[in-house]
Structure 1
């Protein structure tokens, strides 16, 4: 989980505790009765366990908490593609597929100078490099 991802949280037989929460830059979400919860880099199961433990502490007898990822933060594609900008993240997306989502390469696009900026680090990418939520894909122009 990371900032910008949206979670759907439900508690069995407690409709008033159903929450749709977008993760803040700080990595926190707000949940009724519990308050703020740090969810950064946790799995949905870990988050559900943490909420269950908090609800067991004086609120509910047998809370069944389910956490699902409703939406991931977008990816960004810039450079020598036909439709640069913000695009929806999809599971099992690689760089080649992301470029296709961005309308393909322009005539001047490099076929080898592709990069991903992930967590502030610019790394070389190939067609089959996996894309993660929040990645910025850069396709440089070819120098003729």
Structure 2
């Protein structure tokens, strides 16, 4: 698993400082576009990395290293699990190499049906299922045991992501879990209390590709720490 470089953490510290600055400006001006909303979930992102990607939605575009399962109804011999290579291609029985990268699932199904219909099968019914979304990644930073960049292999929540990263560092602040996400062209952030998440008193949020999770260290004097101390840390979010 690739570790996030020290430079990444410095970038996140800058983001945290900007977050605090924007929040203070928003408070001074009485709110507006930069607002903090307590008790609400962070919206889903506005990219092809959205929730639908993990449910086979039509707008998800396949990428390198995605693992897909191709099935042809009634022809078990043609069913195969393949990984999209670095050039975006897959190789299948009879039809050989097919470009999958950049295509949506319906687009690939249509292309494969066309290929199999050209001299092989009559009205083939092709189904494509994504088993691993390896082109989608999340970043775990701060006070977790194994910080780094992790591929998404399906649906995953914030608690599950912390577990994948080896759990929290003993010095982690349970009240200092911050999720950064791009929503409608804006960087947004939500702070969570680990005790509240574990108890089920607040919803365990689903994660999406390009999400960044930062776990603050107990006793830290960073800008992120000041932000967390200034607002209630449960399901709140703000636009940057």
TM-score normalised by length of structure 1: 0.69
Contact in 1 for aligned 2:177/2:213 (Cα 8 Å): no
Q: Does 1:15 align with 2:76?
A: yes
Q: Hey, what does 1:60 align to over in structure 2?
A: 121
- After superposition, the Cα gap between the structure-2 partners of 1:40 and 1:80, relative to the gap in structure 1 and judged at 3 Å, is same
Q: Hey, what does 1:77 align to over in structure 2?
A: 140
Larger Cα-atom Rg? 2
Q: Aligned-pair distance for 1:17?
A: 1.0
Question: In the aligned structure 1, how far is the partner of 2:131 from the partner of 2:206?
Answer: 24
Q: How many residues align?
A: 136
Deviating 4+ runs (over 6 angstroms): none
Q: Does 1:139 align with 2:214?
A: yes
Q: Aligned-pair distance for 1:59?
A: 1.6
Contact in 1 for aligned 2:144/2:172 (Cα 8 Å): no
* Cα deviation 1:114-143 (Å, max 9, x = unaligned): 557xxxxxx6653558322xx474526554
Q: Hey, what does 2:153 align to over in structure 1?
A: 89
Q: Hey, what does 2:95 align to over in structure 1?
A: 34
TM-score normalised by length of structure 2: 0.45
Q: Could you tell me which runs of 5 or more consecutive residues in structure 2 were left unpaired when the two chains were aligned.
A: 1-61, 182-186, 192-204, 222-240
Q: Indicate the RMSD between aligned Cα atoms, in angstroms.
A: 3.2
Higher share in strand:
1
Question: In the aligned structure 1, how far is the partner of 2:206 from the partner of 2:94?
Answer: 42
Q: Hey, what does 2:168 align to over in structure 1?
A: 104
Q: Could you tell me which runs of 5 or more consecutive residues in structure 1 were left unpaired when the two chains were aligned.
A: 117-122
- After superposition, the Cα gap between the structure-2 partners of 1:68 and 1:87, relative to the gap in structure 1 and judged at 3 Å, is closer
Contact in 2 for aligned 1:99/1:105 (Cα 8 Å): no
